[in-house]
Structure formats: C-alpha cells, structure tokens
Amino acid sequence: MWVYLSTGYPQRTTSKKGGLSTIEIHLFLLSNHKFMICKFASNPLDQLVITQKFGENPAFYKKYGMNGHNGVDFRTKFPDTPLGRREIYAVDDGVVIKVVRAKLGGYGTYIQISHEDGSMTIYGHQYNPHVELGQKVKAGEVIGISDNTGDSTGAHLHFGYRRASPNMYNGFKGYVDPSSYLNF
Ligand SMILES: [Zn+2]
C-alpha cells in the first residue's frame, strides 16, 4: 500500500504490528487534507476494463448468500489474448494463503494473498496459478494466468479485496469494493 503526500514523494507504509491499519490511515486522510489516497502498489492486470462492478446483479448472487457481486470483474480478452489468458499481477507484497485448482464452481481455479496490513486479495477464474501455497510474492509479480474456470460465462479476472478484520456478515462475505484502490 502506498500513501501519497500532497507535497512530496510517495511513502511506503509498513503497517506492522502496532502501526496504522488501512482503515486507520483512511480515517486520518479524511481528517487531514495533506494526504490524498491509498492505492495498491500494482494493478492486477495491465489493462483495467470493468465488466461487472462490485454489488451488481443481486439476483444472481443470492445463491451464494450475498447481496450482489463481491468483487470487480475485468475483461481479459483483447486482440493479443483472444482466449482471455492474460498475466495476473499481485497488487501488493504478501504471502499466498490459498491455491485452489478447480474447473467448476464458484471462483474455479483461484488464489488468495495475505498482505502486510492484514488485508487479503483474491484472484478468481484462473487458467493456471504460477504460485504455490505459502510463497512470498512482490507487488507486480505474475501470480497466474486468467481464464474462465468456475461459475463464469466467459474469460475474465474476478478480483476481490478484504480489509484487515473484515465484517464477514456485510452481505459480501467480508469483501469490499476495491475500485478506489486501483489505478485507472
Ligand atoms: Zn466476479
């Protein structure tokens, strides 16, 4: 996570034990206009074209016990990747805490990364993860290739974000809208 000072250079926040959590940083930002916004250090893809926003299609996601889409979907089919198989990048430094290889159901083949500030990101519907459980990854590192596995009607990347200590009963299984953390 980066914090941009309005007067100078970006500063890396480490948010270790006893440091500021992501939520605390945001509260500070609201009460002190010297700061602008926290962003992920990297985007999950080299092109961000949203095909489904957070919270959309509540009727479809009712079967998962959710109030709507619990992440953001991005197009991965472009002229240079007609099958929708693009490289997926870790958005921040972290550790891979889950690797699932499945053709059918939910997120299909997906991984989860735990980040230094206690937040977590998920990258769903993959073709082939390039990381193993417990592996340390750096922001911008290739972690897999996108595809159409799981409950998906076309190749895309499902990207989800949980803050530290998420409210698992928020109607989206603890996930929140990651849009404002991405670099469009
Ligand atoms: Zn999705």
Q: How far is the CA of 53 from the centre of ligand 1 (A)?
A: 8
Whole-number Å distance, alpha carbon 32 to ligand 1 midpoint, is: 34
- The predicted pLDDT at position 37 comes to 57
What is the Å distance from ligand 1's center to 47 Cα? 16
Q: What is the pLDDT of residue 13?
A: 45
Distance 17 CA to ligand 1 centre (A): 32
- DSSP string for residues in 27-90: HHHHH-TTEEEEE-SS-SSSS--EEE-TT--HHHHGGGT-SS--SEEEE--BTTBTT---EEE-
Contact 68, 116 (CB under 8 A): no
pTM equals: 0.81
15: CA distance to ligand 1 center in Å?
Answer: 28
How close is the Cα of 159 to the center of ligand 1, in Å? 7
- Is 101 in contact with 81 (CB distance < 8 Å)? no
CA of 6 to the centre of ligand 1 (A): 34
Architecture of domain 50-181 in this structure: Distorted Sandwich (2.70)
From the CA of 85, how far away is ligand 1's center (Å)?
Answer: 16
Is residue 180 helix, strand or coil?
A: helix
Query: Are 72 and 177 spatial neighbours (Cβ–Cβ below 8 Å)?
Result: yes
Domain boundaries, given as residue ranges, for the chain: 2-39, 50-181
Q: From the CA of 69, how far away is ligand 1's center (Å)?
A: 6
Give pLDDT tens digits along the chain (184 positions). 444 443 333 444 444 444 444 444 444 444 544 445 589 999 999 999 999 999 999 999 999 999 999 999 999 999 999 999 999 999 999 999 999 999 999 999 999 999 999 999 999 999 999 999 999 999 999 999 999 999 999 999 999 999 999 999 999 999 999 999 999 9
Measured between alpha carbons, how far is residue 38 from residues 60, 81, 100, 183 in Å? 31, 31, 29, 10
